[in-house]
Amino acid sequence: MKAIALFSGGLDSTLAMKLIIDQGIEVIACNINTGFGSTKDRLGHMKNMCEQVGAEFRSVDIRDEYIQEVLFSPKYGYGKNFNPCIDCHGKMFEVAKRKMEEWGASFLISGEVLGQRPMSQNRESLDKVLNLSNCDGLLLRPMSAQSLEPTIAELEGWVDREKLENIVGRNRDRQMELAESFGLKDYEAPGGGCLLTDEHFSRKIRDFIAHDTFEVADIPTLKYGRQLRLPDGAKLIIGRDADDNAILKTIENRKYIHIDTDLFGPHSLISANASDSDKMLAAKLILAYCKQNFEGPQVLDFGEEKITAVCDLSRKDATKYFI
């Protein structure tokens, strides 16, 4: 017997897998990549949690499908920011269901806890997710199973319902007890791992779609660096630190050109169609973020174009353009 678990890397989904694995069922931990997870690389952490409970880790990339079908037209709307949580969960379960035959699985599981999140995990929302994904009966939620209707896995006797949990609400005492009893180490504290729940990131998306069509290649351009919108409409991204600079240098996106300088300072990107006026302003703003050990005009490489500018603006001047 085999099950596919929707796996975020968090404690709840890890515990849900362990409860099923302890009943002799093989579990594949399926992490759905929408593109809007943390800016940190969590692959090592997710694999570590899977190893601790004995689950096989696999990842499925749905970034393009997510943008085309969910992000901008959610049937059940958004949460506080740009987070279409109900539709997002529905899409994830739909994708996992597609994988069942290929991966030889008989049912699905998730770490959702009834009543833990006000928008996406109340009873009505959990039912909406089932309807969206057409997974009614297939999806078992081990953490709250005894407070929910029995699923196929329970009714068929594949899983012993009495060995599942009855957790309801936001209190996490029972999760802590389970984590200790299972000997889990290095698990994450609860928190929003999705960038779409972040107010600042949501503002950056809204700004972007007001000026351009959003594509998969645009996702990393919103995750890193200071984000500025210049007077003629160009988008300027200025690296914050060495880590930002390293990532920005790797971005390949036809909508942007890279800006380099011999000075000690940030790596930057600017819209490929930026006006001459915006390019000059961008050059001055970038110089303001360089280490101030230079004098006079400086040459910056805007792709194949060289622009000479003087540093007559400050970092405070840049704030008026922040998104």
Q: For residue range 160-213, list pLDDT tens digits in order.
A: 999 999 999 989 999 999 999 999 999 987 665 789 999 999 999 999 999 999
Mean per-residue pLDDT for 93-111? 97
What pLDDT is attached to residue 97?
A: 97
- Cα Rg, the chain, nearest whole Å: 24
What pLDDT is attached to residue 74?
A: 96
When mean pLDDT is compared across 114-118, 133-137, 276-280, 291-295, the lowest value belongs to 114-118
What pLDDT is attached to residue 151?
A: 97
Question: Per-residue pLDDT for 121 more than 90?
Answer: no
Q: What percent of the chain has pLDDT over 90?
A: 89
> CB within 8 A of 307, min separation 6: which ones?
279, 280, 283, 299, 300
Q: Which residue has the higher pLDDT, 40 or 165?
A: 165
Question: Per-residue pLDDT for 147 more than 70?
Answer: yes
Q: Which residue has the higher pLDDT, 190 or 115?
A: 115
Environment class of 152 (CB within 10 Å of its CB; exposed 0-12, middle 13-18, buried 19+): middle
Q: What percent of the chain has pLDDT over 70?
A: 98
What pLDDT is attached to residue 192?
A: 58
- In contact, 207 and 228? CB cutoff 8 Å: no
When mean pLDDT is compared across 40-49, 101-110, 151-160, 219-228, the lowest value belongs to 40-49
Question: Per-residue pLDDT for 221 more than 80?
Answer: yes
Amino acid at 7: F
Q: Let me know how many helices (H) and strands (E) the chain has, helices first.
A: 12, 11
> DSSP per residue over 23-71, as a string?
TT-EEEEEEEE-S-S-SS--HHHHHHHHHHHT-EEEEEE-HHHHIIIII
Q: Cα 186–187–193 angle (5° rounding)? A: 130
User: pLDDT band for position 102 (50/70/90)?
Assistant: very high
E strand or H helix that includes residue 203: helix 199-209
Please report which residue ranges of 39-150 form alpha helices under DSSP H: 43-53, 63-66, 85-103, 123-133
Give the chain's domains with CATH numbers: 2-182 (3.40.50.620), 224-321 (no CATH)
Question: Per-residue pLDDT for 298 more than 90?
Answer: yes
Q: Cα 40–103–69 angle (5° rounding)? A: 55
The per-residue pLDDT of the chain, averaged, comes to: 95
Mean per-residue pLDDT for 98-104? 98
Q: What confidence tens digit (pLDDT) does each residue in 48-75 have?
A: 999 999 999 999 999 999 999 999 999 9
